[in-house]
A and B are shown apart, each in its own frame.
Chain A
Amino acid sequence: MTIKNVLIKVSLYCFIIASVTGFIASLKVALPTADSEWIDFRKIRPLHTFLALSAQIAGLLGLAQYILGRYGASPAKARSYVFTAFIVAGGVAILAGYYSGREYITWPVYLTPLLLTPVLANIFRLFRSGKALSAANPEGFWLLVSGHLFIVGGVVESHFWLIPSVGGNFVKDLTVQWHGIDTFIAGINISLYGVSVFLLNQQPKPLRNRWLYVIALFSLLFTFGHHHYVSPQPFSLKILAFAASMVAVLSLLKHTKEYKKQIRKKTGKDALHRLITAITFWMMISISSGILFAIPHVNLYVHGTYWIVAHAMSAMIGTNMLIIISGAYLLAGNAETPKPGLNTGIALTNAGLAVLWLSAGAAGIIRGFERVESDYLAYYHKIECVMYGFPVAGLLLIAGLYLMLRRLR
């Protein structure tokens, strides 16, 4: 099965390299005293984060291009090469020791225009084809537009630290940083959701009630404060964050309903069905864990532990990566026919995420409670044994990814 879309190919290769770098990073996490240049955590961790995010953005840009192409837009090879250049340049820079030194936005600042250019170009093309796209699928169109805009907004906001009055004030920088990161990640998630709505719905999905849209936006824009209830932010931001996070219960109910509908479908050995079932399952897990962790009494013990890593991975791997792989299968054709190895690949990916949840959860519980009464040096040895689960999870995820992708070219 052949894929012609350059960005989808780049995305899938990026996922493979990201999973390998993730496995290398997990070795350092499991064996922290291992002193080796090739698992210099200061390079491997930002590289892994960079590749994982780049893979998701490349995937959503590629799938958005495919959708635009269905409505008359011309192919945009230049955009594909610009974004590929961003990934290559960013990877080389991080390996050479040039990074931003910030969380999530790990690439050097001067490379950001290479990321923003194709996203902005996509936004422009979305509007040029806006009438046709919004007639074909109003909800899908608005999800794509909103998602792309939030990617741009989030990335720009994540660079506000360059303004001395922001970067020079730790508390302000921390707050703005969290808002920028949340908006950026939400933009990726929303865009991928929009892509799914277009690709999976034969009938146009109408716009939801505008008040539901307003509620969703409120949740998106104010939920960021739940990442740092404990920091000296204005109380107003914390309360808004709590309210915005609890609103996500509506989303959880909706996704739970969809998951029940999905598993009741009798579709035989339909390859796509299995992928969508896994996606809806992990989406349910990441939303429910997000709501749980946003409760202040729980957040006190969960914030700053590996629990958060598990939550993030179920969204990024279990949901976003699988959406892109589903899209790749749709583009390659014959998505409904059984694919040898795909079911095993999905099962191994699910198993890898489950092992990650168990390890990260155990490490998170130990750390969350132990750090109240004792020092890091006193309690860290209690976590070390459960950290061996990380490389095991990494191997399962690599194997799962290989089996899912080997039929695609």
Chain B
Amino acid sequence: MLEHEGRTTFRIDYAPLFRTALLLTGYFMVSLFVLAVAGKDGPSDPTLVGKDLWQRNNCVSCHALVGLGGHIGPDLTNAFSRRGEGYIRYVLNNGSQKMPAFRLSTAEQNALIAYLKAIDSTSIYPLKSYDGPVFGQSKTSPYKH
């Protein structure tokens, strides 16, 4: 802040600006790198309607997908292959001891099931072996860990 002839002016210090520009550039480069490499082998979600339903009903508050989400209910990453479509429909319509009945329309159920099916095709979680690969067992990645 400078005082000149009774007026106050502000002068910006360029050294910190330069360092900050460097910091931001580094951060955005890392973000772009993550965007570029992540999910290259993963399938695209065939239905964004299912994802939208998942978010609008806030399923993530109780359920996790690949460990990200709530813990009060089971992780649903492989719910499609482990439980099957019929079971998922039954729980959505009737609820369970801990879960309310959502009573979605058939179209909505189909979209949500398609979403869970797409996720199921990406990963195996949790692993079902004590000797499981510590970096996970992917259904789509070419890496064999």
Contacts and interface: CB of A to CB of B under 8 A. Distances in A.
Nearest to A369: B130
A102 interface: yes
Given A172-B38, A300-B127, A157 B59 contact: no
Contacts of A306: 71
Interface in B97-128: 97-98, 100, 118-119, 122-123, 125-128
A128 B119 CA distance: 48
Interface of B: 1, 10, 12-13, 16-17, 19-20, 23-24, 26-28, 30-31, 34-35, 37-45, 48, 51, 54-62, 64-75, 82, 97-98, 100, 118-119, 122-123, 125-130, 132, 134-141, 143, 145
13 contacts: A101-B56, A101-B57, A101-B60, A103-B60, A130-B13, A141-B16, A149-B23, A170-B39, A171-B42, A221-B30, A227-B68, A235-B135, A372-B129
A357 interface: no
Interface of A: 28-29, 32-33, 35, 41-43, 45-46, 72, 99-103, 127-132, 134, 141-142, 145-146, 149-150, 153, 157, 160, 164, 166-179, 183, 217, 221-222, 227-238, 296-297, 299-300, 303-306, 309, 367, 371-373, 375-377
A231 B66 contact: yes
Contact of A234 (B37, B55, B75, B125): B37
B40 A234 contact: yes
B128 A174 contact: no
B31 A157 contact: yes
Sorted nearest first, the 3 A-B pairs with minimum C-beta distance are A101-B55, A172-B39, A171-B42
Contact of B66 (A33, A99, A230): A230
Given A230-B123, A237-B38, A309 B71 contact: yes
Nearest to B47: A168
B61 A45 contact: yes
B16 A130 contact: yes
Contacts of A157: 31
A171 B116 CA distance: 13
Contacts of B136: 228-232
Contact of A153 (B27, B34, B82): B27
B12 A127 contact: yes
Contact of B134 (A33, A128, A296): A296
Contacts of B44: 168-169
A224 B13 CA distance: 33
Nearest to A297: B134
B122 A170 contact: yes
B23 to A, nearest CB: 6
A167 B19 CA distance: 33
A103 B26 contact: no
Contacts of B45: 167-170
A34 to B, nearest CB: 9
B13 A131 contact: yes
A360 to B, nearest CB: 9
Contacts of B62: 41-42, 45
Given A304-B64, A372-B126, 13 more contacts: A127-B13, A145-B16, A167-B48, A168-B48, A171-B42, A174-B65, A175-B38, A179-B31, A230-B123, A231-B66, A296-B135, A300-B132, A304-B126
A218 B19 CA distance: 16
Contact of B12 (A128, A132, A222, A299): A128
A231 B123 contact: yes
A170 B38 contact: no
A268 B12 CA distance: 45
A303 B136 CA distance: 11
Given A170-B118, A171-B42, A103 B132 contact: no
A49 to B, nearest CB: 9
Contact of A32 (B64, B69, B98): B98
A222 B27 contact: no
A229 B134 contact: yes
Contacts of B68: 103, 174, 177-178, 227-228, 304
